[in-house]
Amino acid sequence: MVWQCDVYVIVMLADTTSSNNGGHQTPLLNTKSVNALRSHVSHSSMNGYSGFTYWPQQDAATLEFGEYKITRQVSKLSAGRQSITKLDVMHLPTSQQRSIWHLQYSDWADHGCPRDVASFLSFLEEMDMVRRHAVSDVPVGKNRNTPVLVHCGAGVGRTGVTVACDVLLTSLDHNVVVDVPKLITHLRQQRMLMVQTVAQYRSIYALLLAYLGRSRLI
């Protein structure tokens, strides 16, 4: 999907460690078969993992998945539990390559809310900057309004909050009317359960207030 849909930015809202397993890191995936990949995901879920490591963990290291080879170019840790990694993805049959930015925000438990609103707001702003920068990697003549792939564990709670906040912040920046209930309804029409809990719903308002307060708009 990443290759076929021209994704240049991936946002991961999950940790690759398990609180139920002493905080150990999820093993690297090194399988080339779909069946083995499915088995790993199932095993990780049963052991309480929020995510699995599908990209190399050292610079210049590579992983292969079927027709694709992933090479880690560079990675840096930001404030808190945030990281940005630049990956090179090659489609082996055609030797075509693409740079993909991988952003990870792990200070957020499943079914919970961001522990630090200011930190999460900073992450969203960094995500926007990376997205703007990634446009320069799009070949001439291609659609430059490329999608951002956002995922967590189930792809509804943390993912829903992040997508909603990104849309709302963009709306504020462009003087578009902000309607949180309407937006959540729209998101749920496309994917059920987006924004899972009342606490997550309230966290969206908390982030908007923090953004407006910092911008001195209130």
Q: What pLDDT does residue 80 have? A: 66
Query: Is 165 assigned a catalytic role?
Result: no
**Span 66-81, mean pLDDT?**
88
- Cα dihedral sign, 56-18-31-41: negative
> In 10 A of CB 162, how many CB atoms?
25
pLDDT above 60: residue 47: no
In the block, tokens 């309804």 appear at: 185
39 vs 214: which has the higher pLDDT? 214
Is pLDDT above 60 for 49? no
Residues, the chain, total?
218
CA distances from 28 to 37, 55, 59, 166 (A): 11, 8, 15, 30
Can you give the pLDDT at residue 8?
96
DSSP-derived 3-state class of residue 7: coil
Closest by alpha carbon to 54, among 78, 24, 31?
31
pLDDT tens digits for range 8-25: 999 999 887 644 334 444
Tokens of 153: 């564990």
Q: Kindly report which listed range (19-28, 119-128, 150-159, 183-192) carries the lowest average pLDDT score.
A: 19-28
- The H or E element spanning position 127 is helix 117-134
**Mean pLDDT of the 14-38 span:** 51
Share of the chain above pLDDT 70, in %: 82
| pLDDT at residue 35, as a whole number | 47
Could you please report the per-residue DSSP string of 152-182? -SSSSHHHHHHHHHHHHHHHHHTTPPP-HHH
Q: Which of 91-100, 109-118, 187-196 has the lowest mean pLDDT?
A: 109-118
162, pLDDT greater than 70: yes
Residue 166 has pLDDT above 60, yes or no: yes
Domains, the chain, ranges and CATH? 9-214 (3.90.190.10)
Residue 51: what pLDDT? Answer: 58
The alpha carbon dihedral of 79, 81, 84, 85 has a sign of positive
Give residue 17's pLDDT.
63
| Per-residue pLDDT, 110 | 84
Q: Which of 5, 113, 152, 165 is catalytic?
A: 152
**% of residues, the chain, pLDDT over 90:** 67
Examine the pLDDT at 184 and tell me if it is beyond 50. yes
Nearest to 205 by CA among 171, 165, 174: 165
